[in-house]
Amino acid sequence: MPAKAILSVQGVSKSFGGLKALRNVNLTVEENSIHAIIGPNGAGKSTLLNILVGLIAADEGVILYDGSPLTGLSPYKIIQKGIARVFQTPQIFPALSLLENVAIAAFARRDGQFGIKMREALRPGHPVLEEAADILHHVGLAAYMSEKAQYLSRGDKRRLELALCLVSKPRLLLLDEPTAGMSRHDTNRTIDLLRALSRQGMTKIIIEHDMHVVFSLADRISVLAQGHVIAEGHPEAVRADARVQEAYLGGVHAQ
Amino acid sequence: MTDDMSVLQAARSSASPTLRPRGLGGRDYVVISAFALVILTMPMWILTIGGYEALATKIVIWGLFALGFDIMLGFTGYLSFGHAAFFGTAAYATGLSLKHLTPNLLPALGISIVTAVLIGGLIGVLSLRRSGIYFSILSLAFAEMLHAAALSIFQQYTGGDNGLTGLPLPMLFGLQMQGIAVFYVAAVLLIIGFAVAWKIKRAPFGLMLRAIKENPLRLEYAGINIWAYKMAAFMISTVYAGIAGFLMVVYQPYVATQYVHWSTSGEVVIMSVIGGVGTLVGPILGAGFMLYFENVVQAIIGEQWRLVLGFVFVCVVIFLPGGFVALGHTIWHRLGHLVRSRRRNVSDMETDSETSGRSSARAGAYTSGEHDAC
């Protein structure tokens, strides 16, 4: 039963000088699914994500989001279509408070790419700040909402960035190693949160090295190696695939 | 788990339409009124510290210039080394309007703002594509080009090295503009400028500018057109510089070539840095300090004043990166421990985010520093 595809990557290639980072990558992401992309270091996972959000341009190929091409659009225009991204190194606003961090993304959703609303002042009780506070409460950072983001631990910065993405209510969320640097407890908490969000109609593409996270979350897995998609399918199928075993899971057969 | 599932619903319900975003409140008006009071009484209190009326006028004009400059440097994090371009061209526009059109001030004000915006728009479009040192160098290069143009191809209009001379005394509503009248015109414009900057800082617009300074990549990936915000900030900053250039000619009906010289750009940088970048009173304080030093302290210590001023600048940059305003904050916080009501209780024991979260947003503290406001 094929579900509706929200994102479709068709024949994308990218080279950096002589290095072929991606070769003719094809990928289809179904709506409301969690799609994991795994692969060894240097396989081209982050490059693919960077191409999706317009950070770098593909040499060849087309990316269709909800039926319309994303290729050639500025990053902010891609984001305004309902996509959000969590980066590999947490990208936050260090000297601003947690609440301000999240409020920025909330304003970006409310007012679009640009808007000077001089008639309002940011003060307690402002609906956008209330909304930001609720999201922070939700990811478990509410206790520090008036502290500067730079004082957070690495794991908490990740959660803040996730909050920042969630407040923009994306239809498609791209996560680049969302649990790196988190304790097992926090990792499980994040897994629960991500699962719950899928049920509410949020599609996710997740790059992850932690197989515990991948296999407890993903509906589908694509395996990248040396710029190729070498396998794609349901987690069980991928886990059993001999090529995947060899390329990534280290040749050791399933425990 | 059930709590997790409600994330979107919770967010939606919180943005209830009954809560309207409020504009400026009581505390904002208190600050702006206090500022207005201090500025308007300056010709009186400046006498007690060895100043004089004309010095007050100059401080107000340069304060406005530095305040606008800080919208770029302090708010947005873009160091412009070419603000003399807008200050100077607006001054020339004012001079030409007074000389050839009418001695009336209002057309001159309009023309000078339009000129500054046009020049600023052109330089902004060309130089805001880059950031950091490249932006600074580009802005400096464009300003120097204008300076060279004023002394060469536009010499017949600008008067070349002699400056634009022979201007009539400006008039406003049949009143000759000189002495204290100029001060009050400048003071009113500075107070308006301060109120606008205050509003920008408190509005979502100001938050976006601070976000550009903090992390442009993240802001772009929040869905924001950074370039549009930078350009808007630059244009606002340009208007401030233009009005200051206009006032300079009203204060002294003569346009010096120095107004488009890079040293004018440099002076406004030093004023902002000494006073405190990213604050509203800082640049004005810095302008006051510089001009006070140049005019009053110089008379006392003589020729070495530049050396001493350089020393003060170096000390501020090394020991007081936040300028005079940061010094003020430090003293305020140190003294705060002596006052029981201002003792801040930082709870590092707080681990239960579930109970404290919601209440703290509503209780009030939401910014990274309450005193950052001014």
Cα separation, B250 vs B259, in Å, equals 14
Which residue positions in chain B have pLDDT lower than 70? 1-24, 339-374
Please name the residue of chain A whose CA is at the shortest distance from the CA of residue B208: A104
The pLDDT of residue B27 is 81
Q: Residue B295's pLDDT is what?
A: 85
Q: What ipTM is given for this predicted complex?
A: 0.89
pLDDT confidence of residue A249: 62
Chain pair A-B, CB pairs under 8 angstroms = 216
Please provide residue A35's backbone torsions phi and psi, each rounded to the nearest 5 degrees.
Answer: -110, 115
| CA pseudo-torsion sign A173, A178, A184, A186 | negative
Q: Do A121 and B22 touch (CB under 8 A)?
A: yes
Contact (CB<8Å) A126/B225: no
Question: Could A92 and B199 be called an inter-chain contact, meaning their C-beta atoms sit closer than 8 Å?
Answer: no
Contact B357 A107 (CB under 8 A): no
The confidence score (pLDDT) of residue B73 equals 92
Residues 6+ positions from B8 with CB-CB distance below 8 Å: A169, A197, A200
| Residue B364 in tokens | 């009030």
Look at residue B21 in the predicted model and tell me its pLDDT: 44
**Which residues on B lie below 8 Å from A109 (Cβ)?**
223
Minimal Cα–Cα distance from A96 to chain B, Å? Answer: 6
In chain A, count of helices (H) and strands (E)? Answer: 9, 10
Question: For residue A10, what are the CA distances in angstroms to A13, A69, A72, A223?
Answer: 9, 11, 15, 16
8 A C-beta contact, residue B182 and residue A46: no
Write down the pLDDT at residue A43: 85
Question: Which homologous superfamily is A5-82+170-247 in?
Answer: P-loop containing nucleotide triphosphate hydrolases (3.40.50.300)
Q: Is the pLDDT of residue A58 over 70?
A: yes
Which of B199, B204, B368 is closest, CB to CB, to A148?
B368
Contacts of A19 (CB under 8 A, 6+ apart): none
Gap from B277 CA to chain A (nearest CA, Å)? 15
Work out the mean pLDDT of chain A and round it to a whole number.
86
Report how far Cα A215 is from the mean position of its chain's Cα atoms. Answer: 17
- Chain A residue at shortest CA distance from B23: A120
B7, A107: Cβ pair inside 8 Å? no
Query: Order of strands, edge to edge, in the sheet holding A228-233?
Result: A83-86, A172-176, A203-207, A34-38, A220-225, A228-233
Provide the residue ranges of all domains of chain A, joining segments of one domain with +: 5-82+170-247, 91-154
A-chain residues near B22 (CB < 8 A): 120-121, 123, 125-126
Segment B207-234, tens digit of pLDDT: 999 999 999 999 999 999 999 999 999 9
Q: Which CATH number applies to B26-300: 3.30.1560, 3.30.2000, 3.30.460, 1.10.3470? A: 1.10.3470
The predicted pLDDT at position A88 comes to 85
- Say whether pTM exceeds 0.95: no
Task: Indicate which of A120, A153, A157, A185 best probes the interface with B, i.e. most B CBs within 10 Å of its own CB.
Answer: A120
Quick one: tokens of B145?
Answer: 């080009």
pLDDT tens-digit readout, A165-222: 999 889 999 998 888 777 888 888 888 888 887 777 789 999 988 888 888 888 999 9
Which pLDDT belongs to residue A18?
Answer: 84
pLDDT at A228 over 50: yes
Rounded Cα gap, residues B111 and B92, in angstroms = 10
pLDDT score recorded for residue B43: 87
